[in-house]
Amino acid sequence: MHNHLIKGVLTCTIALTVLGSESISAHAANWHKGTPTSLQGKWRTKWHVIDKGVSQGRELSNISRKNVVSLDVSKTKLKGHYNTVTDMGMPDAIGASYKYLGNHSYQIKGKDLAGTNTFKVKRYSHNKLKITQRHFKEYLYRR
């Protein structure tokens, strides 16, 4: 009788442990401080034509632990030589926080000079990202 009681209690304890562990959720939709480590680093776009045969441009981005900052670079052909001009782009997200959306996609928000800025980032590989904001889409490559 005593063995049956111990076996019954042990079986119930194991069953409740197994069934109870399935209902625990990780709350992955919460906002986290900073930027995802998989996105951190120095990124750049490919050169794109601004004025055919005259000027080209690209964007350089730096994603640190807390900020996402961009820099616009353009080069203009003058008398057969290129003149490079660097313009400070507006910071994309200062004091950033992010939310994981699934499938290597993140939503990042942070302060901008105009207020709060929110955009989505999809990581395709170690060397390629896509940033989407409203009607704007841009591919970045690790530099």
In a domain, 124, yes or no: yes
Interior CA angle at 119 toward 114 and 124, to 5°? 150
In a domain, 7, yes or no: no
In a domain, 20, yes or no: no
Residue 140's contacts (CB-CB under 8 Å, 6 or more residues apart) are 43, 44, 45, 59, 61, 128, 129, 130, 131
Along the 143 residues of the chain, how does pLDDT read in single tens digits? 556 656 665 565 555 555 555 544 455 569 999 999 999 999 999 988 888 878 888 889 999 999 999 888 888 887 767 778 887 666 689 999 999 999 999 999 999 888 999 999 999 999 999 999 888 899 999 98
- Number of domains the chain is built from: 1
Helix (H, G, I), strand (E, B) or coil at 7: helix
pLDDT of residue 12: 56
Helix (H, G, I), strand (E, B) or coil at 79: coil
In a domain, 125, yes or no: yes
Q: Which domain holds residue 126?
A: 32-142
Question: What is the model's pTM?
Answer: 0.72
Q: Side-chain half-sphere of 26: how many Cα atoms within 13 Å? A: 3
**Domain CATH code at residue 41:** 2.40.128
In a domain, 36, yes or no: yes
In a domain, 63, yes or no: yes
